[in-house]
Structures are given as structure tokens and as C-alpha cells.
A = this chain, B = another copy of it.
Amino acid sequence: MTSTFQATAVVGAGAVGSFFGAMLARSGHPVTLIGRAPHVQAIASHGLQLHRAGGVETVRVGATTELDAVRDADLVLFCVKSTDTESVARQIAPLLKRDALVLSLQNGVDNAAAIARQIRQDVVPAVVYVATAMPEPGVVKHFGRGDLVIGPLDAAAVQDGAQDGAQDGAQDASQDAAQDAARDGELLQRLQAVARLFDAAGVPVRVSPDVMAELWRKLMVNCAYNAISALSQLPYGRMAALPEIVDVQQAVVREVVAVAQAEGQPLALDAALQAMHDIAQAMPAQLSSTAQDIARGKPTEIDHLNGYVARRGAALSIAAPVNQTLHALVKLLETARSAA
């Protein structure tokens, strides 16, 4: 098991994946972006045009449309849309190096667990804080932040979603505990190697035992903003200006916190409400990614945002009517646009 990485593949090289891949590549680390044909062709012709820090630079980075390219990577940045997680994970499962590490740079709290159910390699969830866009193929614009929080995947999350997950027998518990401790120590070393690799590329990475709670906090914010922005096609500041909408957002947060707590993630309600309010102050002109997807007639990630909270709430007998309503309304908008 290596504790340094020789080559990185980005699976699903959109704006986020291309940004982090480009940052690693410009630091001298071998990177291959796996993405759509127009993006790949543009990079092959002109390199990746990276707009950041007030300038533009051309980053030389490998690019291909073939998932087969993950064969060479010992670090995989998994950046596909949540709707594609399961199918892409299944496709790369037979291709991955035996000791590859897969880092999920995705929204939602269920992606890393969903990948882990398809592959035998270590899967590590990352909370991504970055504002980027891909205005055209081959061009990535960076607007703000660009840091990650990574940490161990909650093993219970993998079990939760498993169709046929075997239950540990009680007699094996102490032996399992010793094995788990050894595995945890080894994983921690690999996470620190990931942090060193990115740090050297100018990307701050924090290793946290509470990465799942942090993913839930980000999910909570997304649940409070994305659907409403999509339904109204309005930015966060306009939403925050209407008291009735703030009431609804607070109801969303209460439901998400209740479901998170039932999942064993100790989110604090007061802090969650404050964090939700702060977002509209910090980004009043922001239109949610879900709003942008709807406007472009593309499928959204709503099944993994409000839809996930509604499903987990139903499974745990926790009422989540507001998340359920927002999820259904965005699904209706999706059918409207796809039929139009």
C-alpha cells in the first residue's frame, strides 16, 4: 500500500473535476481527465485554459473519453453527477488498481457509500468548497475558494444502503475491532498523503474525523436553497427577502437536522439555522446549480438532495414533508423541460 501517489485520474471532468485536476497537473503531478468528447478535444488541441487569480494559464493535462484510463491511476477523483454514481462506479470496478484510492468530490451524503458498494478499494468522501464554471469546452473559470475536507467514510453508511450486506456475528466483534483499528491507521496515512499532494499544488486539504457531519451540513444548505432557487429561477438574496420563504427554509433545516441526528450525525440545530442564513448574505446573487440545470433542460441532482432527505426520513419514520414537497416539485419541472 503506497502512501504517495504516482498518477491521478479524474472521472467526470466537469468544472469541479477539471479545476482540481488542473491544479494537481500544474504542480507537476501526472493527471488524466476523463470527460466528454468536446472538452477532451479542446484540451488535446489547446491544453486546458485555467482562469484564476486574475489571469489565464494553459495547463497541459492528459484528457480522454475512455474510463479505461483509470487503470493507470492510484488516486481517482470521482466527480460525476450523483445520478451517475452507481453506474460509473460499477464500470470502473474491474479497471481500478488494487490499491487505488477513490476520492468522491460530489454533493450529497450518499455518493461515497454508493461507490463503496460497487468497488473493493478504499473510498473517501470529500466536502468540496469551490466556485467554478466551465463556460465552454476546454475552459475552466475559478471564482472562489478551492479547498477540501476529507475523512473516513462512515462504515454504517455503506451498510445502510447495502441490499445484501452481511451482519457481523457478535463472536467476531473483538477480532473485527482490532482489524478495524489497523485499517483505520493505514487509511489515515493515505489521507495525509492526499493532503500533502494537494497542499503542494496550492489546494488546502483538511483531514477531519467528522467529514460525514460536514457533508450533512453542506447537504442541509443545498436542501434549503437549491430547489427553491430552481422553482423560482431566483438568486439567494431574493429568496431571503421574503419572510415566508425563510420560514420554509427553516423548516427544511429542521427536517434535515432531525434526519441527520437519526443517522448518527450530531448536527446542532441553532448552528445549522445560522449557517443557512449566512449563505444568502454571502452569496445574494447566486443561482443554485439545480436552477441552472433546470434552465438548461438538464437532469438535476435533486434525488440526492431534498429527495435523499425525504427517502431517509421515510425509512427512519421522521417526517420530512417540506423536503418531500420541494423534491416532487423539482421532479415535475424536470419532466416539463424534458418534454418541451
List the interface of chain A (C-beta within 8 A of B): 228, 231-234, 238-239, 241-242, 244-245, 247-248, 251, 321-322, 324-329, 331-333, 335-336
Asked if B242 and A332 make an inter-chain contact with CB atoms under 8 angstroms apart, the answer reads yes
Complex alpha-carbon distance, A248 and B331, angstroms? 12
A242-B332, A244-B331 given; A324·B251 CB < 8 A: yes
3 closest A-B pairs by CB: A244-B328, A248-B328, A321-B321
A238-B335, A322-B321 given; A328·B232 CB < 8 A: no
Asked if B324 and A234 make an inter-chain contact with CB atoms under 8 angstroms apart, the answer reads no
Main secondary structure of the interface of A (DSSP, over half): helix
The chain B residue sitting closest to A227, CB to CB, is B329
Asked if A324 and B238 make an inter-chain contact with CB atoms under 8 angstroms apart, the answer reads no
Interfacial chain B residues near A322, Cβ < 8 Å: 321-322, 325
Among B233, B238, B247, B333, point to the contact of A232 (Cβ < 8 A): B333
The chain B residue sitting closest to A327, CB to CB, is B244
Asked if A242 and B325 make an inter-chain contact with CB atoms under 8 angstroms apart, the answer reads no
Asked if A231 and B325 make an inter-chain contact with CB atoms under 8 angstroms apart, the answer reads no
Interfacial chain B residues near A251, Cβ < 8 Å: 321, 324-325
Interfacial chain B residues near A239, Cβ < 8 Å: 332
Complex alpha-carbon distance, A251 and B319, angstroms? 12
Q: Would you list 17 pairs from A and B whose C-beta atoms are within 8 A, ordered by A residue?
A: A232-B332, A232-B336, A233-B336, A234-B332, A234-B336, A242-B335, A244-B324, A244-B331, A247-B324, A247-B328, A248-B324, A248-B328, A251-B321, A321-B321, A321-B325, A322-B322, A325-B326
